Amino acid sequence: MTAELGHYALVLALALALVQSTLPIWGARTGDDALMGTAAPVALAQALFVSISFAALTWAYVTSDFSVVNVYENSHSAKPLIYKISGVWGNHEGSMMLWVLILAVFGALVAIFGKNLPQTLKANVLAVQAWVATAFLLFILFTSNPFLRYEQAPMEGRDLNPILQDVGLAIHPPLLYLGYVGFSICFAFAVAALIDGRLDAAWARWVRPWALTAWIFLTLGIAMGSYWAYYELGWGGWWFWDPVENASFMPWLIGTALIHSAIVMEKREALKVWTVLLAILAFSLSLLGTFLVRSGVLTSVHSFATDPARGVFILLILMLFIGGSLSLYAWRAPTLKQGGLFAPISREGALVFNNLFLSAACAAVLVGTLYPLALESLTGEKISVGAPFFNSTFVPLMIPLLIAMPFGPLLAWKRGDLFAATQRLLFAIGVSVLVTVLVYAFVQGGPLLAPLAVGLAVFVIMGALADIAERAALWRVPLKVSLSRVRGLPRSAWGTAVAHIGMGLVILGIVGETAWKTELVQRVKLGETITVGRYALTLDSLFPRNGPNYQEGVARFVVTRDGANVGTMEAAKRVFTARRMPTTEAALLTHGLSQLYVAPGETITESAIDVRVYDKPLVLWIWLGCVVMVIGGGLSLSDRRFRVGAPRTARARKAALQPAA
Amino acid sequence: MIQAFSKVSRTIDSRTGWLSAAALALTLAAPPSALAVQPAEMLADPAQEARAREISKELRCMVCQNQSIDDSDAGLAKDLRILVRERITAGDSDQDVLQFITSRYGDFVLLRPPWETSTLLLWLSPAAILLAGGIGIAMATRRRRTATPARLSADEEKRVAKLMREE
């Protein structure tokens, strides 16, 4: 019964989305308050029904209702509860359900927190949001219905793909989708502004928190996915330039450009038209990302055509939203008034530089990802575009960006002084040169350019600190004054500095991992000791073990460093009982910011095992740096000027008090 | 394949020789997780082996999705890894090895697409977009700088003149 309820609730949600798509925008056109007023309550109701529907599907998974096709295909009664729940979005239909759930909840949030929005803008935004919801609900109901039943229920399910049974992957898709769908709000604001023909600094102030929120979740989601691939896929890499990864990376790059250009728009009313374009592009790439991953077009152009209904529907949605919004943009953007002028060397100029390089980097990723598909469908010629291509196009685009990063915050608005900014960065430059020389002199091995890359990372970090020191007028005024200045700095200033430091840390991790990792591939016999980098590993035992829904062979290593015991590691080869699917479970040992990584190889017998062992220095910074970036985003988000209501009510209260006094 | 699996599971259930049974299962199925280069394949000379690894990173495992033969455990990837090492021991340069493999398997095997007319757009577009963006920005700034200040309507001119007179 619950499955039918879920299905019914989804149909009702579609009906509500249709209402929300039309009435408010009609009201906004005709100036009808009542019609515009429908937007918020209908958005709330739509969120309620989508939630009911999603809850019904989750319930079917939790109770292992195998009469539901989707549950049978992706679940198993012996699976731990958390994977039963994460199994809901571990498949195509369920992940689309999660998508519309987040979309509806975000729509409801706009309805609830959008009290200060101009009424027409709010009505238009919610209507555009509902267009997206309508398209996705139709897609689910017509091509990917998760509530279909078997007439006769099978006894047992087919289990979730074993490599997806992992905590990392349980939370990776929701984080990613929170990011993707967060950009839908920016998109809705952009399209609403284009329809309205009005675009001012207040618009940027409204959009920036949403862009930041989406960016935070997307950053977390990508970092999570990268760490998951690192420990689960078992060959020790953390980024593969896989099309699936690229699909989430592109909206991140444009989203990063967006949160920067929105600053310019908010403070200086410049770059308006460009910011709107970025808002549209960020969501378009999110849509593209969702569908690239979901449609199977990446595996091969041909697998796309195996399910024509889905494929054609997907193409229609993409064409409708991307094509439609870009056409609207081309038509309306010229009518938008341009704001503030600025010199090339200025804060605005630096942010334009940032946007230019991020967009070009995104274009490199986009072209690299789609080129093989386009070439094959146009000429039939098959080529591969892999990591070597991206490394040699993307990385060179990042280097100027990183070098420029510390300069941006130190330049004044309108007209900056590059020489003065350089002077303020002298200390940061000195430290990074010193570090480069020290690394060059004392760290052995690694490519010749690696110390320079470390220097660049240090420059980014020190540059971010230099900005804080500059704002505190450190050394120019008494220390006490500086400290109180530091305390008085707006959160957004801290946000910038912390996020930039996070970026520097990520670079440090990447350089440490790529330049100084040690690798050993070897057959190890019981009792034998191998040395990898700074560690010695002894194969202590080999034994079988049973898990809840798998059986595994475990190799246990005792690890020492300079003679001192640092721990034990258990690498395993698993066979999942339901799907008879073997997986490898790499063992990780964290030591400071480095990790020792043991991946079991092909052969494993009762007395020996083939292993691939890595000593990866600084590798943890790759993900911790992302967390630091996210903290920076959070700080910026908590800045009081984003709580637009706050200053206004304070002023209102003062005004109210005056007559009484 | 399925029969082999049920046999494997029986062996595992009876708890005898389970390790080799698991290994058998692994060699039979192509698991999504990769095990890549194996100890038995490696060359004795560390310098030659290092070259083999670098070359392997440039070559695609043709039956996998976006994996290099260095990362993949598929049978075909293993064959290619061994082939690369054979060529290196035979005295080929890195370029020779890549050429030899491409002549057999076509451009599809290269993860770094070669410079050709069909890939020109691919290789040039990142730089082209950066350049176009840069020129676009430069033109927009110049246009706005020269155009904006000198734009008073006749009405405004009249008002300015009037204000000046009042001064």
Q: Which residues pair with A564 in a beta bridge?
A: A561
Q: What pLDDT score was predicted for residue A555?
A: 92
Average pLDDT of chain A to the nearest whole number: 88
Per DSSP, A413 falls in state: S
Residue A267 has pLDDT above 90, yes or no: no
Q: What pLDDT score was predicted for residue A661?
A: 35
B163 at interface of A, judged by CB pairs closer than 8 A: no
Task: Using an 8 Å CB-CB cutoff, list chain A residues near B123.
Answer: 393
Q: Which of A181, A170, A137 is nearest to A61 (CA)?
A: A170
Q: Which residues pair with A518 in a beta bridge?
A: A615
More confident residue, A31 or A200: A31
Looking at the fold, whether B93 and B158 belong to one and the same domain comes out as no
Q: Which of A152, A159, A83, A270 is nearest to A576 (CA)?
A: A159
Q: Edge-to-edge, what's the strand order for the sheet holding A518-525?
A: A518-525, A608-616, A594-604, A587-591
Task: Using an 8 Å CB-CB cutoff, list chain B residues near A352.
Answer: 137
Provide the shortest C-alpha distance from residue A364 to chain B (in Å): 5
Task: Using an 8 Å CB-CB cutoff, list chain B residues near A160.
Answer: none
Check CB contact under 8 Å for B39 and A352.
no
- B-chain residue closest to A378, CA distance: B118
| A–B interface: beta-carbon pairs under 8 A | 179
For every residue of A156-209, DSSP letters joined together read: S-----GGG-SHHHHHHHHHHHHHHHHHHHHHHHHHHHHHHT---HHHHHHHHH
Last residue of a domain, one of B113, B129, B151: B113
More confident residue, A2 or B143: A2
* A69-111: pLDDT as tens digits: 999 988 888 888 998 998 898 888 999 999 999 999 999 999 9
Check CB contact under 8 Å for A583 and B118.
no
Q: What pLDDT score was predicted for residue A654?
A: 46
Task: Using an 8 Å CB-CB cutoff, list chain B residues near A341.
Answer: 144-145, 148
Q: Residue A640's pLDDT band (boundaries 50, 70, 90)?
A: confident
Alpha-carbon distance of A528 to A539, in angstroms, equals 6
Q: Residue A653's pLDDT band (boundaries 50, 70, 90)?
A: very low
Q: What pLDDT score was predicted for residue B55?
A: 92
Assigned token pair, B126: 């990142």
Mean pLDDT within A501-511: 96
Q: What pLDDT score was predicted for residue B33?
A: 40
Q: What pLDDT score was predicted for residue B6?
A: 35
Q: What pLDDT score was predicted for residue B151?
A: 61
Mean pLDDT within B118-136: 92
Q: What pLDDT score was predicted for residue A457?
A: 96
Q: Residue B18's pLDDT band (boundaries 50, 70, 90)?
A: very low
Q: What pLDDT score was predicted for residue A205?
A: 87
Check CB contact under 8 Å for A544 and B148.
no
Mean pLDDT within A43-50: 97
Looking at the fold, whether B106 and B62 belong to one and the same domain comes out as yes
- Of A156-170, A289-303, A357-371, A592-606, highest mean pLDDT: A357-371
* CB neighbourhood size of A331 (10 A): 10
Provide the shortest C-alpha distance from residue B122 to chain A (in Å): 6
- Let me know: does A271 contact A383? Beta carbons within 8 Å: no
Tell me which of A300-309, A449-458, B6-15, B60-69 is least confident: B6-15
B23 at interface of A, judged by CB pairs closer than 8 A: yes
Looking at the fold, whether B103 and B144 belong to one and the same domain comes out as no
A387 at interface of B, judged by CB pairs closer than 8 A: yes
As a whole-number percent, the residues of chain A with pLDDT over 70 amount to 94
Indicate which of B9, B18, B24, B35 best probes the interface with A, i.e. most A CBs within 10 Å of its own CB: B35
- Dihedral sign for Cα B31, B35, B39, B45, please: positive
Task: Using an 8 Å CB-CB cutoff, list chain B residues near A600.
Answer: 35
- Let me know: does B18 contact A546? Beta carbons within 8 Å: no
What's the CA angle centered on A68, arms A62 and A70, to 5 degrees? Answer: 85
* A542-577: pLDDT as tens digits: 999 998 878 888 999 999 998 899 999 999 988 887
Looking at the fold, whether B87 and B146 belong to one and the same domain comes out as no
Please give the single-letter amino acid code of residue A339.
G
Mean pLDDT within A44-50: 97
* B76-124: pLDDT as tens digits: 888 899 999 999 999 899 999 999 999 998 888 999 999 888 899 999 9
Check CB contact under 8 Å for B122 and A388.
no
Check CB contact under 8 Å for A360 and B32.
no
Check CB contact under 8 Å for B111 and A612.
no
Looking at the fold, whether B108 and B141 belong to one and the same domain comes out as no
* A322-374: pLDDT as tens digits: 999 999 999 988 887 777 788 888 999 999 999 999 999 999 999 999 998 88
Residue A320 has pLDDT above 70, yes or no: yes
Residue A161 has pLDDT above 60, yes or no: yes
Residue A296 has pLDDT above 80, yes or no: no
More confident residue, A314 or A363: A363
How distant, in Å, are the alpha carbons of A14, A331, A418 from that of A320?
18, 16, 45
Q: Residue B16's pLDDT band (boundaries 50, 70, 90)?
A: very low
Domain count, chain B: 3
Provide the shortest C-alpha distance from residue B165 to chain A (in Å): 30
Considering only CB atoms, B26 lies closest to which of A338, A363, A582, namely A582
Q: What pLDDT score was predicted for residue A306?
A: 54
- Of A293-297, A308-312, A554-558, A606-610, highest mean pLDDT: A554-558
* A115-132: pLDDT as tens digits: 888 889 999 999 999 999
Alpha-carbon distance of A289 to A302, in angstroms, equals 19
Residue A649 has pLDDT above 90, yes or no: no
Per DSSP bridges, beta strands A594-604 and A550-561 are unpaired
Check CB contact under 8 Å for A235 and B71.
yes
Check CB contact under 8 Å for A387 and B68.
yes
Looking at the fold, whether B95 and B133 belong to one and the same domain comes out as no
Residue B17 has pLDDT above 60, yes or no: no
Assigned token pair, B74: 């598929």
Check CB contact under 8 Å for A241 and B26.
no
A240 at interface of B, judged by CB pairs closer than 8 A: yes
Last residue of a domain, one of B77, B94, B113: B113
Q: Residue A619's pLDDT band (boundaries 50, 70, 90)?
A: very high
Q: Which of A48, A82, A50, A84 is nearest to A68 (CA)?
A: A84
More confident residue, B38 or A60: A60
Check CB contact under 8 Å for A388 and B112.
yes
Q: What pLDDT score was predicted for residue A635?
A: 94
Looking at the fold, whether B74 and B106 belong to one and the same domain comes out as yes
Tell me which of A45-54, B26-35, B93-102 is least confident: B26-35
Looking at the fold, whether B51 and B19 belong to one and the same domain comes out as no
Looking at the fold, whether B101 and B134 belong to one and the same domain comes out as no
Residue B36 has pLDDT above 60, yes or no: yes
Tell me which of A485-494, A587-596, B12-21 is least confident: B12-21
Task: Using an 8 Å CB-CB cutoff, list chain A residues near B107.
Answer: 381-384
- Of A17-21, A382-386, B69-73, B158-162, highest mean pLDDT: A17-21
Residue B15 has pLDDT above 70, yes or no: no
Provide the shortest C-alpha distance from residue B154 to chain A (in Å): 21
Q: Find the largest Cα–Cα distance for chain A.
A: 89
B14 at interface of A, judged by CB pairs closer than 8 A: no
> The domain spanning residue B99 has which CATH number?
1.10.8.640
Looking at the fold, whether B46 and B68 belong to one and the same domain comes out as yes
Task: Using an 8 Å CB-CB cutoff, list chain B residues near A163.
Answer: 32-33
Task: Using an 8 Å CB-CB cutoff, list chain A residues near B23.
Answer: 573, 602-605
Query: What pTM, to 2 d.p., does this model score?
Result: 0.88
Task: Using an 8 Å CB-CB cutoff, list chain B residues near A158.
Answer: none
- B-chain residue closest to A585, CA distance: B33
Check CB contact under 8 Å for A356 and B137.
yes
* A209-223: pLDDT as tens digits: 999 999 999 999 999
A119 at interface of B, judged by CB pairs closer than 8 A: no
Q: What pLDDT score was predicted for residue A168?
A: 79
Q: In A, residues 286-315, which contact B (CB 8 Å cutoff)? A: 298-299
Domain residues for the domain of B11 are 1-30
Last residue of a domain, one of B78, B96, B113: B113
Considering only CB atoms, A584 lies closest to which of B12, B33, B111, namely B33
Residue B54 has pLDDT above 70, yes or no: yes
Looking at the fold, whether B87 and B62 belong to one and the same domain comes out as yes
- A-chain residue closest to B8, CA distance: A580
Residue A651 has pLDDT above 80, yes or no: no
Looking at the fold, whether B64 and B18 belong to one and the same domain comes out as no
Per DSSP, A593 falls in state: T
Average pLDDT of chain B to the nearest whole number: 74
Q: Residue A198's pLDDT band (boundaries 50, 70, 90)?
A: confident
More confident residue, B165 or A154: A154
Mean pLDDT within A164-190: 89
- Let me know: does A596 contact A532? Beta carbons within 8 Å: yes
Q: What pLDDT score was predicted for residue A298?
A: 65
A232 at interface of B, judged by CB pairs closer than 8 A: yes
A373 at interface of B, judged by CB pairs closer than 8 A: no
CA B74 to chain centre: 18
